Structure formats: C-alpha cells, structure tokens
Amino acid sequence: MKKSKIYMILGSLLLLFLFVFPLWNITLEAPQYPEPLAMDIWINKVTDHNPNDIKNINLMNHYIGMKDVPTDLKEFEIFPIVIIVMAILGVLIGFIGRRKLYVTWGIVMLLLGIVGMYDFYLWLYDYGHNLNPQAAIKIPGQGYMPPLLGSKSILNFNAISLPMAGAYFMIVGIILSFVAFFQAKKETK
C-alpha cells in the first residue's frame, strides 16, 4: 500500500482515541484544595477527574449561583456520531486514494474542530454567566466563565483549561491527512 494511503487511514483512525481519552480538562485550584478539583470533558461525557470532583465543583458553585455541570448535553449525542462518521469516511477516502479528498477531509475536520471549540465557548459562557439571581454570594460585574484555553483566576480559584490526549490524537489525525495529501503529490511525480 502507498504511504499516503496509510497516513490517511491512520489519521482517520486516530479520531477513535477520542473514545479512549478525554478531550479537555478543566482544573480548579484553591488553597483549601491541596488536591485540586477537576473535570474531564470527553467527546460523549463529562467525568470526575478524581472521584466526586463534579459533585464538589457543583457544591462550590451553587453559592455563586452557577448551574450544575451538565452531564446530558445534546452535544454528547451528536459529537460521537460526527466523529465515527468522519473516521469511517476517512478510512474509505484512504482506500479510494484520491488526494483531493484527503485535503477535503482534513479541512472539514478543521472546520468541525473550530465549530466544536465555538460550541464549547458558548457553553462555558453560559455556565459562567447564567447565574441564579438568588445566589448567596453576588459580586457585581464578576463572571465565572472558565478560560477556553490557559489559566484564569476566578475569586479564590485558579481555573486551568487544557486539551488532553484525545484532542492531541485528533490534531495529529488532521495533520496526517495533510501529510497524506503532500505525500500523494510526491508519489504521483
């Protein structure tokens, strides 16, 4: 089999690691938490980083009127289907072996990634700003939106938001589809 095909197929299959590793992680550090609270965001769920972390994040956040961390977003149903479809398509494209399809797949994945990040941003914004007006602690002008990427200090917490292994596999997968494109170009010469 040609190298380009292998890259393309491998790249598409790397998407499946999104079901093995979390995509993103939000960690909350505070003096009272020598072991920080953290949640792992997967393509299809949000989970405790350590047992009961989400319960304890919710407990903290109810004082400032934040909603519970949602565990049944509709994204968790749609995203996995998109990823599986894209992985199957990618493998098929690999077998077909047309390099223009490689790059198309890569661009579509990139666009999907951007849409996903935007969706994530909207969710974070809502999570951080849609507050219960009866909250015990109200600080005018204070938002509690965790950062999309990087760290941010929110009251006594330092919130850190970083991609995890699943995201890296996806990025490498997309890069591989472009590598396949250039490799295929070389192979036709």
Partner 1 sequence: MKNLIKSTLALLSIILIFGSCGKGEKQSDGLLASNAAEKVYVKPGELDEYYAFVSGGFSGQLSVYGLPSGRLFKVIPVFSVDPEKAWGFNEETKPMLNTSHGFIPWDDSHHPDISQTAGELDGRWIFINGNNTPRIAKIDLTTFETTEIIEIPNSAGNHSSSFVTENTEYVVAGTRFSVPVPQKDMPIKEYKGNFKGALSFISVEPKHGKMNLEFQILMPGFNYDLAHPGRGASHGWFFYTTYNTEEANSLLEVNASQNNVDYIAAINWKKAEEYVKAGKGKKMPTNYAHNVYDENTHTATSTMKKEVLVLDPAELPGLVYFLPTPKSPHGCDVDPSGEYIVGSGKLSANVTVHSFSKMLKAIENKKFSGTAYNIPILKAEEVLAGVVEQAGLGPLHTEFDDKGNAYTTFFITSEVVKWKLKTWEVVDRKPAYYSVGHLMIPGGNSRKPTGKYLLAMNKITKDRYLPTGPEVTQSAQLFDISGEKMELLLDFPTIGEPHYAAGIHKDVIMKNSKKYFDLKNNKHEFVAKSEAETKVVRKGKDVHVYMTAIRSHFAPDNIEGIKVGDRVFFHVTNLEQDYDVPHGFAIIGANNSELLIMPGQTETLVWEPKQVGIWPFYCSDFCSALHQEMQGYVRVSPANSTIKLSWSLGE
User: Which positions lie near partner 1, rule CB under 8 A?
Assistant: 35, 51-52, 55-56, 59, 63, 136-137
The tokens describing 179, both together, are 């590598």
Are 7 and 182 spatial neighbours (Cβ–Cβ below 8 Å)?
no
Residue listed under structure tokens 């972390």: 53
Q: Which is nearer to partner 1, 56 or 158 (CB)?
A: 56
Closest contact distance (angstroms) between CB of 160 and partner 1 is 20
Closest contact distance (angstroms) between CB of 50 and partner 1 is 10
Closest contact distance (angstroms) between CB of 153 and partner 1 is 18
Q: Which is nearer to partner 1, 82 or 155 (CB)?
A: 155
Burial class (CB in 10 A: 0-12, 13-18, 19+), 77: exposed
Q: Which is nearer to partner 1, 63 or 95 (CB)?
A: 63
CA dihedral 115, 117, 121, 126 (to 10 degrees): 70
Residue listed under structure tokens 């070389």: 186
The tokens describing 187, both together, are 């192979």
Closest contact distance (angstroms) between CB of 155 and partner 1 is 11
Q: Which is nearer to partner 1, 40 or 53 (CB)?
A: 53
